[in-house]
């Protein structure tokens, strides 16, 4: 059985068509959207969504006389019922990203975080490393996107640089996901044991396919055995959340900050009858103890609420991480 696809959105964002290009039935397009989500979404059961009931309720407000903007708003609202950051709705004139409607706040400010750092090295537009207090390593990953081999080479160079540090901080507070293999390669360098990491199952028309088992596999060349503190937040999404599942399994890792976003499975991109694009989570992800964190998020080991995260030009999450590594 082949490994599951990464958590990168499987979607070609080509130009969408709208009513200005052709006439269509808004009700027919809504019904097709509702049916498609029923068939392919892995989130309906895990998030306790009564999708049929919601379809009935929202169907009553759909009118062929609605403007495109009004129609977009109605579809956005029903999709937001999932509270799934993986769900988007894209048109030529507007877009809806569910994460923008969840009331989440970022517990990260790059300029403040970097005020604590020395010898900042930019490895790519999303990966940086640095030192704190000359003895603690700092790795920032804005996402886990990009080529697996290239990212792994970056991770190797970072761990070689940090070989003599007394501890490491991995900052994933705004990591918005990407390839689960990049998350896996990073975890592999933090253990010397093979561990069951999580399982995934794709939604099928008859339910779900067989579980695919993911493992954390020790890197044959690198093992960072010192203490590691992982920084998470509400904008830690998807593959960033799967990293958190793995971090929970490793004795030398501690997660601090906030609970992750709440969506771990891979994403499917689809097209409505009118050409609008949308995404949905088609994959169920279970921790080794069979907990499904979809709709919940992975909690930190030590919670630091938002009001005590960033204030007065200080990053209190980062300062707490430094304390834990002293």
pLDDT at 10 over 90: no
Q: Nearest 5°: phi and psi at 10? A: -90, 85
What confidence tens digit (pLDDT) does each residue in 68-83 have? 999 999 999 999 999 9
pLDDT at 15 over 50: no
Assign 45 a pLDDT band (cuts: 50, 70, 90): confident
Strands 277-281 and 267-271: antiparallel
What confidence tens digit (pLDDT) does each residue in 205-215 have? 989 999 999 99
| Structural contact between residues 75 and 67, judged by C-beta atoms closer than 8 angstroms | no
Q: What is the mean pLDDT of residues 230-247?
A: 98
The rounded distance, in Å, linking the Cα atoms of 275 and 90 is 9
The whole-number pLDDT of residue 1 equals 36
User: How high does pLDDT run on average in the chain?
Assistant: 93
Q: What is the mean pLDDT of residues 148-161?
A: 98
Question: CB atoms < 10 A from the CB of 64, how many?
Answer: 11
Q: What radius of gyration, in Å, describes the C-alpha atoms of the chain?
A: 21
List the beta bridge partners of residue 215: 196
More confident residue, 16 or 54: 54
The rounded distance, in Å, linking the Cα atoms of 16 and 280 is 17
| Structural contact between residues 7 and 179, judged by C-beta atoms closer than 8 angstroms | yes
The whole-number pLDDT of residue 22 equals 66
Q: What percent of the chain has pLDDT over 70?
A: 93
pLDDT at 302 over 90: yes
The whole-number pLDDT of residue 51 equals 97
3-state secondary structure the chain: CCCCCCCCCECCCCCCCCCCCCCCCHHHHHHHHHHHHHHHCCHHHHCCCCHHHHHHHHHCCCCCCCCHHHHHHHHHHHHHCCCCCCCEEECCCCEEEHHHHCCCCCCCCHHHHHCCCEEEEECCCCEEEEEECCCEEEEEECCECCCHHHHHHHHHHHHHHCCCCCEEEEECCCCCCECHHHHHHHHHCCCCCCEEEEEEEEEECCEECCCEEEEECCCCCCCCCCEEEEEECCCCCCHHHHHHHHHCCCCCEEEEECCCCCCCCCEEEEECCCCCEEEEECEEEECCCCCCCCCCCCCCCEECCHHHCEECCEEHHHHHHHHHHC
Which residue, among 87, 11, 9, 13, has the nearest Cα to 44 in the 3D structure?
Answer: 87
Structural domains of the chain in order of their starting residue, each with its CATH number: 1-103+264-285 (3.30.750.44), 110-262+297-325 (3.90.226.10)
């Amino acid at each position: 059985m082949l490994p599951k696809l990464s958590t990168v959105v499987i979607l070609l964002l080509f130009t969408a068509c709208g009513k200005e290009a052709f006439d269509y039935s808004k009700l027919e397009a809504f019904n097709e959207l509702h049916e498609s989500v029923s068939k392919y979404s892995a989130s309906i059961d895990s998030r306790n969504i009564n999708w049929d009931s919601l379809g009935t309720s929202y169907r009553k407000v759909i009118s062929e006389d609605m403007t495109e903007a009004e129609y977009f708003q109605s579809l956005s609202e029903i999709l937001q019922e999932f509270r799934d950051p993986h769900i988007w709705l894209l048109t030529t004139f507007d877009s809806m990203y569910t994460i923008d409607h969840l009331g989440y706040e970022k517990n990260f400010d790059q300029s403040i975080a970097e005020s604590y750092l020395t010898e900042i090295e930019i490895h790519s537009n999303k990966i940086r490393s640095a030192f704190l207090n000359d003895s603690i390593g700092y790795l920032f990953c804005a996402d886990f996107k990009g080529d697996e081999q290239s990212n792994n080479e970056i991770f190797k160079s970072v761990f070689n640089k940090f070989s003599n540090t007394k501890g490491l901080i991995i900052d994933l507070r705004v990591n918005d996901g990407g390839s689960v293999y990049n998350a896996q390669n990073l975890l592999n360098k933090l253990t010397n044991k093979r561990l069951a990491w999580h399982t995934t199952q794709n939604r099928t028309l008859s339910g779900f396919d067989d579980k695919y088992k993911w493992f954390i596999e020790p890197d044959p060349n690198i093992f960072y055995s010192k203490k590691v503190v992982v920084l998470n937040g509400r904008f830690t999404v998807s593959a960033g959340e799967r990293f958190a599942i793995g971090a929970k399994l490793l004795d030398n890792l501690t997660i601090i900050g906030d609970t992750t976003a709440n969506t771990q499975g891979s994403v499917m991109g689809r097209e409505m009858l009118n050409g609008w694009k949308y995404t949905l989570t088609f994959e169920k992800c279970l921790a080794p103890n069979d907990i499904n964190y979809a709709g919940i998020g992975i909690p930190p080991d030590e919670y630091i609420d938002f009001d005590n995260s960033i204030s007065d030009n200080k990053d209190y999450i980062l300062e707490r991480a430094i304390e834990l590594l002293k």
